[in-house]
Amino acid sequence: MANCNHALFATALAGILAGTTPALAHHSAAAFDTQQNITVRGEIIEYSFKNPHVYMSLAVSNDDGSVTEMEVEAGAGSVISPLGFTRDAVAVGDIVTISGNPGRRRPNALMLGRELYKADGSYYPLNISSRSIYESRDETANSLEGTWFSERQSFFAFLGSARTWKLTQRGSEAMANTDPLATPQKDCIPLAAPALMFYPVANTITVEEDQIVLDVDWMDSRRVVYMDGRNHPDSSASFLHGHSIGTWDGEVLVIDTTNFAEHPMGLATNLPGGRGKHLTERLKLNEDGKAITYSGVIVDDEYLAEPVQWSGEWVYRPNMEHSNEECDLAVARRFLAD
């Protein structure tokens, strides 16, 4: 791995938390004033648990006796469910208190939800950056098979590390001219691996006789790793998640992926990926069985001036369920009207 730019996760994470957070969901929070915080209390009159966003509307009673409606945008069901906000967390008729950020164009009618409290004081997270209701767990795995979770720190760190990558001129221009409103995720097209694999959602690995399946609970993403000795197809063939073949290096799964389709977020949320992108991933169960070390190298001569190396962790969460919600195209594009 000579001449690789190693993603320094701790340094990148510190920079992210100190400054502006990268695009965290399918789009940025540009429609909201994230420097202002508001708190509203009201009755839930509409509620929709969807991907890539959960929405609810509150009937808010004002001091003068009038009632106004506040629309609350929360994170994706896939993202906030692992933090503790599941489909049944709230219901129409509940009285709740929500804190968050007001909409820029409709500050009295739209907000980005961060935290929700029910009348009995129960707390629920509404955003990828919200604190989880769950404490650390001690489940252990005996193999790579099962359900795993990349905590948001690893996701933020990977995206932030892109700022340190050495880029070609084309890569630098693409990063400098990123348009958050042009994200392909508004069309229910997820970002590509390896960023996809760090998304803080349920990620289930199923080991079959001649293939390994990676089901990522983000915009219906499913990767198949062929273990039957086949070669990659001709370079004329291209796929959203590429074509993956795997081998075992002892107990480490090594995945080699080529034949990627061009993708506006193929390397990071602000950096495309080209047809020549080549991804090598390594999945190793840690000695304590509580996590997988996920590492690898990206090569993309069109946008990267040199290969990029990364390493992070997925924690074992055998009881974490997938949202089982397909990406809703209307919901994915709803932010464009805000």
- Domain annotation for the chain: domains and CATH numbers: 5-24+138-316 (no CATH), 38-128 (2.40.50.140)
Token duo for residue 149? 């979770």
Whole-angstrom distance, CA of residue 70 vs CA of residue 73: 10
Residues 6+ apart with CB under 8 A from 186: 26, 27, 332, 333, 335, 336
Quote the pLDDT of residue 73: 96
Whole-angstrom distance, CA of residue 78 vs CA of residue 85: 10
* Cβ–Cβ under 8 Å, residues 266 and 273: yes
Residue 301, Cβ neighbours under 10 Å: how many? 14
Nearest to 264 by CA among 224, 225, 223, 303: 303
Global pTM value: 0.86
* Cβ–Cβ under 8 Å, residues 74 and 50: no
Q: What DSSP assignment string belongs to 63-82?
A: TTS-EEEEEEEE--HHHHTT
The backbone region for 49, taken as left when phi is positive above 0, alpha when psi lies in -120 to 50, beta otherwise, is beta
* Cβ–Cβ under 8 Å, residues 167 and 303: yes
Quote the pLDDT of residue 202: 96
pLDDT in tens, the chain (338 residues): 444 444 333 333 333 333 334 444 445 567 899 999 999 999 999 999 999 999 999 999 988 889 999 999 999 999 999 999 999 999 999 999 999 999 998 999 999 999 999 999 999 999 999 999 987 778 999 999 999 999 999 999 999 999 999 999 999 999 999 887 788 999 999 999 999 999 999 999 999 999 999 999 999 999 999 999 999 999 999 999 999 999 999 999 999 999 999 999 999 999 999 999 999 999 999 999 999 999 999 999 999 999 999 999 999 999 999 998 899 999 988 876 65
